[in-house]
Amino acid sequence: MTASAEEGLTIAVAKGRILREAIPLLAAIGIVAREDPLRTRKLILEADVAPGRPPVRLVFLRAQDVPTYLEYGAADAGIAGRDVLLEYPGEEWYEPLDLGIARCRIVVAAREDDPGGSAPASGSVRVATKFERIARRHFAGVGVRAEIVKLYGSMELAPHVGLADRIVDLVATGDTLRANRLKPVEHIADVSARLIVNKASMKMKAAAVKELVAALREQVEPSR
Ligand code: ADP
Ligand code: MG
């Protein structure tokens, strides 16, 4: 069952912080899930939509899976962080809109007692991260030899147990870094949640997709 075989739109939303901030944004354009996505265990919900608008169903995914759903046409549109889009090996979608929600940064961080910079004095660096591609690209760009240690979470621990000299991770307030006696030493990219659209859906469901993009644009860029 591919999304494009259906009437209406399937929108894939990253769970967690993005979902919490996307709910009011979608509500503002008349898309309201029939159950509270933050309370139900259901991973797919029909939504009520503004009168005359095409039907919408919402699917809730791990952030990293949103690009995969778009690439395979399992969703017509998606909401995912720029971090996840940068990390995904491919760009099989359009990215028409910065939604301006779930803002944070991708940074290189080190122990508080570290002198800082891209790498320790030795000139090569071991980096713990779940963002392998982003980290590789960054250290190649600044000309530092980096060995990437792939982790799936709790990156902040790695510099304290000798697993890595640096981490590459998302930072919003810096509280988590501080709580774990780390400091940002380099800024890699600003992150916010983006609307992405499946290329086939853009053609096959042009009217519905354009309407969705226009309605969201109106919310996030009200001056234009
Ligand atoms: P998970 O930990 O399961 O990957 P999160 O909810 O922590 O899920 O992150 C999902 C997305 O939320 C991230 O990919 C990122 O785009 C966004 N995000 C925004 N701010 C933060 C933050 N301070 N920490 C983590 N993720 C954030
Ligand atoms: Mg997290």
> Where are any strands of DSSP class E within 72-118?
77-81, 93-98, 104-111
Tell me how far apart the 2 most distant CA atoms of the chain are, in Å: 63
> How far, in Å, from the CA of 180 to the mean position of ligand 2?
15
Give the tens place of pLDDT for each residue, 134-151. Answer: 999 999 999 999 999 999
Write out the two tokens for 40. 């139900």
Q: Give 53 or 4, the one with higher predicted confidence.
A: 53
In this structure, which residue's CA is closest to atom 16 in ligand 1?
81
Question: pLDDT exceeding 70 applies to what percent of the chain?
Answer: 95
On whether the 5-102+192-220 domain is CATH 3.40.190.10, my answer is yes
Residues with CB under 6 A from ligand 1: 14, 16-18, 62-63, 81, 83-84, 102, 104, 170, 172, 191
* pLDDT tens-digit readout, 58-86: 999 999 999 999 999 999 999 999 999 99
Ligand nearest to the CA of 17: 1
CATH number attached to the domain at 104-190: 3.40.190.10
For residues 57 and 45, the answer to whether their CB atoms sit within 8 Å is yes
pLDDT given at position 115: 86
Amino acid letter for position 1 = M
Please check whether the two domains, 5-102+192-220 and 104-190, share a CATH topology. Answer: yes
As given in the structure block, the two tokens for residue 83 are 């971090």
